[in-house]
Chain A
Amino acid sequence: MGQVLFVHSEADLIQAARAGDGSAFAELLRPQYQAAFRVAYGMLHDVDEAEDAVQEAAFKAWRSLGNVREGSSLRPWFLAIVANQCRTVSKSRWWSVLKVEPPETQGRSVDIAAAMDLRRALRRLGHDERLVVVLRYYLDMPFEEIATTLGISTKAARTRVERAVRRLRPIIQNQGAAV
């Protein structure tokens, strides 16, 4: 957790957030923000939409904070809410398949064409398969944490990842970017 926990424990922050203290809830989310943004960006491929999705998810999470069981990790719970928010955004974004945006590489030396191929290939996966690929290979999550986040068994998470990867490979290869 962040520096604030030297002053307030997570339990104190949860209690304060449940009582309506927005800054306490923001502190709870601080260590999760990076991962939440990555999930949203991996799913939506748009920085503005990703930021908005995390913010909307944060409000939904705050409203349902009473459902979090004592002692359970906040991260999978919050990431699941972010993922659901992305699903909602995607449903209202009928133009998403048409939208082509340049990859934002922030100075890294990458093969731009290959990056775009992979992003297009990801978009062709369904929400659930795209999500497991993002969680596994973008957030480096172990299968156990993917399972907790998605509310499925570990073996189901493993199968879903395997199937998504096998689906991804021919799509990428067909796009001329053999892996």
Chain B
Amino acid sequence: MDEHVLFERLHDALDIEPRPGAYERLRIALTKSPARPHRWPVLRMGGFKMDLRLAAGVTLLVLVGAIVAAYLAAHNATSGRVPAGSGQAIAAYQARVGADDTQAINTWSAPCDTTTHTGCQGDATRAIVALQQWLDDLDRSEPPARFLIVDAQLRLHIAGSISGLNSLLAASQANDASGIDRAYLLAVAGRAWTDAVVPSIVSSKQVTVAEYTNSVRAQSSSLTTCADCQVLAGQSQIDCSQNQDFCQTLLDGTDLQVASLQAALAAFAAPDSLSAKDTRLQQDLARADSALISMRASLLTGNQAGFDAGRITLRAALAAVSLDVAAI
């Protein structure tokens, strides 16, 4: 779809000005309201609110510490020195994953245009080489314990993208326009996952119990209330042969929520006291994620039975995720 056309269509469909006086109504409401903004620490507050203020203060200190640590890690990496202790393996892994991600994105900055179907073969071929290089780099060393589970999913998504790009190449050679579109969606699904999760791996830091719990609860509530996830993991029959776009929509919506929670867990690594619960949550999310990957592949090949089997796994995995979150 041409960007300019979409721009014009959207403006035609939605262009509307606020009603006269809309801003004035807002101004009057704000001026008359007794509401006041939240302020930073007010020492006269006591009890629970005081605890929250203190927690916020501690959080701020931890964040400042993490930022300083991240700066030092980056400085050490760029100056050729490596930090001592267990942070060494983590920093090295983060640097490697970040570099490979950048390389993969750079070689696939303009994925083939599925409107004109031009340049697909060259784009896909270059991207496959970069993604394979990424997989090879991951294979060369063990991931640190913190990234053990997310690393396995990263490999699956890279492999999924390679698979999608290979299908895209085949469809392109066969001049199969709809095949190119379907394969593109499989390839870009892997990229969407890495776009969401890799920055979290790169910036990952261990956080306090309160920070971890808040992060998990905030992100998991989106997953719990996600309408696409409920339909996809639900019991009602979904016939993808009759409505492939609908199935694609459900997969994309669910994928986004699962990846966002995986990203949150990577960014805000669990404190040691919660590591067992965090591992369980990551494992169940990985099960859901793997089910989504296999469902995408099934959708591409028109394998309804495979898609249905993926839904059963997804249902069980998301139910387990809910229990895991409740236990944190």
The number of residues on chain B lying at the interface, defined by a beta carbon within 8 Å of a beta carbon of chain A, is 55
Report Cα–Cα, A66/B53, bound state, in Å: 13
Interface residues, chain B, with chain A CB atoms under 8 Å away: 1-3, 5-7, 9-19, 22-23, 25-27, 29-33, 35-40, 105, 111, 114, 181, 184-185, 188, 191-192, 195-196, 199, 225-228, 245, 248-249, 252-253, 256
From the candidates A23, A62, A108, A169, name the one contacting B1 in the complex (CB within 8 A). A169
| Chain B residues within 8 Å of A153, by CB | 195, 199
Q: Are A20 and B10 in contact (CB under 8 A)?
A: no
Q: Are A59 and B11 in contact (CB under 8 A)?
A: no
Q: Are A91 and B114 in contact (CB under 8 A)?
A: no
Residue of B nearest to A156 (CB): B195
Q: Are B13 and A119 in contact (CB under 8 A)?
A: yes
Report Cα–Cα, A153/B263, bound state, in Å: 13
Report Cα–Cα, A131/B311, bound state, in Å: 27
Interface residues on A, range: 35 or more
One of A5-13, A69-77, A160-168 at the interface: A160-168
Q: Are B40 and A66 in contact (CB under 8 A)?
A: yes
What number of A-B contacts does a CB cutoff of 8 Å give? 172
Q: Are B114 and A166 in contact (CB under 8 A)?
A: yes
Q: A137-B10, A165-B1, A171-B245 are in contact. Are A26 and B30 (CB under 8 A)?
A: yes
| Chain A residues within 8 Å of B199, by CB | 152-153, 156
| Chain A residues within 8 Å of B36, by CB | 20, 62-63
Q: Are B17 and A51 in contact (CB under 8 A)?
A: no
A86 at interface by CB-CB < 8 Å: no
Report Cα–Cα, A21/B328, bound state, in Å: 40
Q: Are B14 and A138 in contact (CB under 8 A)?
A: yes
| Chain A residues within 8 Å of B13, by CB | 103, 110, 114-116, 118-119, 122
Q: Are B26 and A54 in contact (CB under 8 A)?
A: yes
Q: List 11 A-B contacts (CB under 8 A).
A: A18-B39, A25-B30, A25-B37, A55-B25, A62-B37, A63-B38, A115-B12, A118-B12, A134-B10, A163-B192, A165-B3
From the candidates B16, B35, B185, B226, name the one contacting A59 in the complex (CB within 8 A). B35
Residue of B nearest to A40 (CB): B18
| Chain A residues within 8 Å of B22, by CB | 33, 37, 51
Q: Are A179 and B256 in contact (CB under 8 A)?
A: no
